[in-house]
Amino acid sequence: MADAAFRLRVTYGKTGRLRFLSHLEVAHACERAVRRTGLGYAVTQGFNPRMRIAFGPALPVGSAGVAEAYDLWLSRLVPAAEALEMVLVATPAGLAPVDARYVSDKEPSLTAALTLGEYEVVVEDPGMGPGRLAEALADVVGSGSLTIEHKGAMKAYDLAVCLPEGAQVGEEPGRATARMVVHMGPWGSLRPEALVREALGRMDARSASMTVTRVALRPMEG
């Protein structure tokens, strides 16, 4: 590890076409953006030196985010606003940073700290009647658990644990927005779209299109 390292927490978005990137692709793109800035970054020691950078909880392919985060260790202290501007210039618009501030090195890692994700799932289906999605979602949540298939394996989520605040639905003609807070932990990270898809299945509206956005990440205590 470099002798002096200053931990800069960068908040960024994953929006537009770039929501189709995987977590690894996002991480790689942000790392390259940092290299383009000319900022002095700390490098890990060892056989295969790498930039010291650590990302928050993963967002799947297809999901957007407006307040994602990574921690970057700089070898030279640069005012946070200046660093933000440098990263902004070097980053593709769909991953643009919105905030940068220094945090103490004693703070836990982003993945350890940020275990709650707030999501909005917008469902577009002109044929969907009023109140139906809210009803179907309440039905799914009320059942207590959700089993989904992921890469050929079945996985069951305890909804009382994963969705501590349940799910709320706002509606306007032809469009409904489900809001929920997902608790991530050793059991994994429930995908909000899986929950909504299950509800749509019960409504026989599987063809509805969905856009998922993680609007905030926060710690459990907050």
Partner 1 sequence: MTARWEQVEPLLANIERPARYIDSEFGALHRPDAAYRVALLYPDTYELGMANQAIAILYDALNAIDGVAAERVFVPAPDMAAAMRGAGAPLLTLESALPVSSCDLLGITLPYELTCTNVLEALDLAGIPLYAADRGSGHALIVGGGPCAFDPEPLAPFFDAFLIGEGEEAVLDIVATHRAAVAGGLDRSGVLAALARVPGVYVPSLYEPAGDGLGVRPRAGSGAPVEVVKRVVRDLDEVRSPACPVVPYMDVVHDRATIEVLRGCTRGCRFCQAGMVYRPVRERTADSVVRDALGQLRCTGQEELSLSSLSTTDHSQIEEILRRLGAALRGRAVTVGLPSLRVDAFGVAMARLVGEGARGGLTFAPEAGTQRMRDVINKNVTEDDLFDTVRTAFDGGWRRLKLYFMLGLPTETDDDIRGIGALVSKVLHIAREATPPAQRGGMRIAVSVSTFVPKAHTPFQWEPQLTLEEVRHRQSVLRESMPRKGVELHWHDAEVSLIEGALARGGRELAPVIEHAWRAGGGFDAWTERFSLSRWLEAFAAAGVDPVALASTPREVGTPQPWSHISSGVSEAYLALERERALSGESTPDCSFDGCTDCGACPQLGVDIVLAGGARG
Residues 14-33 that bind partner 1 (CB under 8 A): 16-18, 20-22, 24-25, 28-29, 31-33
By the rule CB under 8 A, 93 interacts with partner 1: yes
Tell me how far, at minimum, the Cβ of 47 lies from partner 1, in Å: 6
Task: Supply 186's token pair.
Answer: 């050793």
| Part of the chain binding partner 1 (CB under 8 A), chosen from 47-55, 155-163, 167-175, 176-184 | 47-55
Tell me how far, at minimum, the Cβ of 60 lies from partner 1, in Å: 11
Residue placing its CB nearer to partner 1 in the complex, 89 or 160:
89
Query: In angstroms, what CA-CA distances link 75 with 8, 36, 56, 63, 137?
Result: 11, 15, 21, 33, 49
Residues 62-81 that bind partner 1 (CB under 8 A): 62
| Part of the chain binding partner 1 (CB under 8 A), chosen from 4-12, 41-49, 105-113, 139-147 | 41-49
Single-letter amino acid, residue 139: D
What is the C-alpha to C-alpha distance for residues 26 and 41, in angstroms, rounded to an integer?
18
CA atoms in the 13 A half-sphere facing the CB of 115: 16
Tell me how far, at minimum, the Cβ of 28 lies from partner 1, in Å: 7
| Residue 7 phi, psi (nearest 5) | -90, 110
Residue placing its CB nearer to partner 1 in the complex, 106 or 151:
151
Burial pattern 155-181, b for ≥16 Cβ within 10 A else e, equals eebebeebbeeebebebeeeebbbbbb
Strands 116-124 and 175-183: antiparallel
Tell me how far, at minimum, the Cβ of 93 lies from partner 1, in Å: 8
Residue placing its CB nearer to partner 1 in the complex, 47 or 222:
47
Contacts with partner 1, residue ranges (CB under 8 A): 16-18, 20-22, 24-25, 28-29, 31-36, 38, 43-44, 47-51, 61-62, 90-94, 209
